[in-house]
Structure 1
Amino acid sequence: MGYVSEDFLHDAVNKATCDLFTFAYRHVVKPHAVFNVPPDKAHERMIDFCRATGRVAPLMALLHGMLDYTDPVLETSVMGVGFANPFGLSAGLDKNCDMPVLLDNAGFGFETVGSTTSRPCLGNPRPWFHRLPEYDSMLVHVGLANDGSAKVIDRAERAWTKARSLQMSVSIARTNDDLVGDLDEGIEDYRISLERAANRTAMVEVNISCPNTHVGEPFTEPKNLDRLLDSLDTVKRSQPTLIKMPLNRTWPEFRDLLSVIADHDVQGVTIANLQKDRTGLVVPKEWKGNLSGGPTYAAGNDLIRRSYREFGDRLAIAGVGGVFTPAQAYAKIRAGSSLVMFVSALMYRGPQQITVLKRGLAALLRRDGFEHVSQAVGLDA
């Protein structure tokens, strides 16, 4: 018998266990433990499961050994931060920082927790979610429910210091409650959370584009955004800052926002938030919220390409929205994304999807002759 390398065996085991996880999620977990209850309840179950299993070290070690896939071609450095791979969980799912241990052991490159706000926030009346599987989408109407940035950032810092390789980012937003006031109040709200986050995570995301709040999105107006960033610029911090951008803007409007951002202490942008346009989709009118996943994909990629062409030498791009396959992730990278985030794929495909994406992206990069993922960024822009 010929010699079989340890790396070959590990790769074979990883692929086999990933396939097993995929089969089990599709045929057992998804129909009998996730999609058999309303999505709000399924979300609560998932968070409880992540919180509980994350405390069981032997179980996490087993998960890491079975599921985590590493490959040098996926390693990258973005905005001065090193990543084992470019894939991260987007803000919006793990609002209170309950999932980092599981995500770390499953092999995510990073996680963005939140969005979190200066005051604890109850969010909008339920239901918060509606499933739209025919569109690979969820209708989201949470309204920034979270425990408040004082608690969430403490948890994110502890998770970051204990992680194997997971980089932690925290997304901060304006509190969505009855105490909201004028623009100055909103600026102070963001500032409080940024001061709490300074130097305590790998990155900070400033979410100016949550579409499900009482006061709308006033900081997606260039003048207001400039005022906000003038204030945030004075908060001393070592980690890079990204701005989470709105999806439903014309390119001239979007470019005006990028022009403002480029004049401030901001290193990147997250493109983009939820899709508001339901044109062509069969969605009950009484269902409140905005669309994640598939309906965001094409519009987001177009904004990524345009942003990279004009601002790629100044702002790093984290692309989010509609990533379910390695080819879709690769397309976002070639459009200009240095980092790729997802949420809906975790719900519809299962936790092993991170491994599917990493293995598939590595194969695509090697097929096209790249030694590092960064070499592919922006090639189609």
Structure 2
Amino acid sequence: MNRPRVLMLPKWYPNRYDDQDGDFVARHVAAIAPNAEVAVLFATVARGPQRPLLTCEAELTGPVPTLRYYYRARLTGLPLLDKLLKLLLYTISMHQGYRRLHRHWGGPPQLVHVHVLLRTGLWAGWLRLTRGLPYVVTEHWTRYLPANAHRIGRLRRRLTQLVVRHAATLHTVSDNLQQALADLGIRNSRTVLLPNVVDTDLFRPAAPAERDAPGCPAGYLLHVAAFNEQAKNLSGLLRVVARLRLSRPTVRLRVAGYGPAEAQLRELAASLGLLEDGTVAFLGKLPPAQVAEEMRRAACLVLFSNYENLPCVLIEAQASGLPAVATRVGGVPELLPEDGSCGLLVPPRDEAALAVSLTTLLDNPGLVSAEVLRQRAVQQFSTAAVGRQFAEVYAQVLGR
């Protein structure tokens, strides 16, 4: 049977300004690609100077043909007018990109797959009305979680309800997010739960020679996340490490990430005396291969988040055979069961509980089986496993 042609419409996707923006969407696309003839149509605001109103970067020769459109952020200097003009430029990008991919394929797509609402879903709804194309919605966004739902305006909520109701299927990456959407009245009678994806070839347990490699302290704590204090609470983790150092002078925390709060967090670490003796090391933005290396040498991954959806970094840790300590928020308990087989859960903002759990894992390195973690990741989160499940969803939507 011929593979279906699927047009991907992501809100976030790796781009010229940030090659890790929306990388979890790109992983879903990569998992789907062996089972469908996919192409990506992505449009976003230019984050730097751009003289033309609209530019396009086309990559049509690879396994996933991709069009990236960038439109000017400031057009008149009047915020309301600029917002309307940017919406117009987004629409023009979608029209141009659809026609170009239609020609590239030699025909229209058979299905549209929206990744993160809302603008992408409105365009998919237009294609459904004008061309009869069914669409699937995949949602990742933590904005729908209770901690952020108050930021969703009435009009946006109504439009989101409408888009999701008319989708052929709603897909979320966690049961927690699915429930949060339902609590906002955002429902679909055909809803599926499929997790995020991990590259189980890249993220794998360490061989002895890798774990003992020079230049890096073995058995350290590892934190990998964007520097977003409202969500990730890295400041709380730094205070806990400062407390642990009093009884464990050799404790080390390596922090991989980047974001708006980086300067603030470095300043806090310095004020706690964590930088002077190397207790904490800020690694900056790391490519996936280097994150995988860090995980192969670490003793424990730690996330002290105030809220989460289904963190990819926890899945990567499991593929690497690395136990985790994380907060009992969002979809995290779906990755770290209460039985402790994959790591330990602590209440959000409970710094004393985090210190106890980290001490427990550091004192008992065999408490969590690396083999069990690895097997779980391959069976549930690998590219092949998730790709097969998406193929089944498409087959149901298309009546195959």
TM-score norm. by structure 2 comes to 0.30
TM-score norm. by structure 1 comes to 0.31
Q: Which has the higher contact order (CA 8 A, sep 6+)?
A: 1
Greater gyration radius: 2
